[in-house]
Amino acid sequence: MRQPLVNPVDKALDNKELQELILFYNETLGFCPNSILTMYHRPEIAYAFIALNKAVMANHGTVTSKLKRLIGYVTSNVAGCRYCQAHTIRAAERYGADARQLLEVWDFEKSDAFDEKEKSALNFALHASMIPNAVDDRVAERLRQYWSPGEIVEIHGVVSLFGYLNRWNDSMGTEIEEGARDSGKELLASSGWEDGRHTY
Give the three-state DSSP class for 130.
Answer: coil
Per-residue pLDDT of 65-81, as tens digits, reads: 999 999 999 999 999 99
Residues 92, 51 share a domain: no
Residues 72, 53 share a domain: no
CA distance 46 to 187: 29
The model carries a pTM of: 0.95
Residue 191, domain member (yes or no) = yes
Residue 2, domain member (yes or no) = no
Domains identified in the chain, total number? 2
Instruction: Report CA Rg, the chain.
Output: 16
For residue 109, what pLDDT is reported? 97
Residue 113, domain member (yes or no) = yes
**40 exposure class (CB count in 10 Å sphere: 0-12, 13-18, 19+):** buried
Per-residue pLDDT of 115-158, as tens digits, reads: 999 999 999 999 999 999 999 999 999 999 999 999 999 999 99
Residues 84, 39 share a domain: no
Determine contact, residues 67/45, Cβ cutoff 8 Å: no
For residue 14, what pLDDT is reported? 84
Per-residue pLDDT of 15-62, as tens digits, reads: 888 888 888 899 999 999 999 999 999 999 999 999 999 999 999 989
